[in-house]
Amino acid sequence: TYTISRVVLSDAVCLVRGDRHYTVDYSSRNLTNWGYNDAQYD
């Protein structure tokens, strides 16, 4: 169940990161510093 949960969460994150409407305002000016740093790729 851990693996399935991890896959579902990972897929949701990829969908949000790949959303063109989300990425238009993807900058530290429009996001909080915490949110901008949290959304960075590892």
Total-model pTM: 0.41
Cα–Cα distance between 5 and 30 in angstroms, integer?
30
pLDDT tens-place string over residues 4-36: 899 999 888 888 777 666 666 777 777 788 877
* Per-domain residue ranges of the chain: 2-38
Q: How far apart are CA 35 and CA 31, in angstroms?
A: 6
**Residue 22 pLDDT:** 62
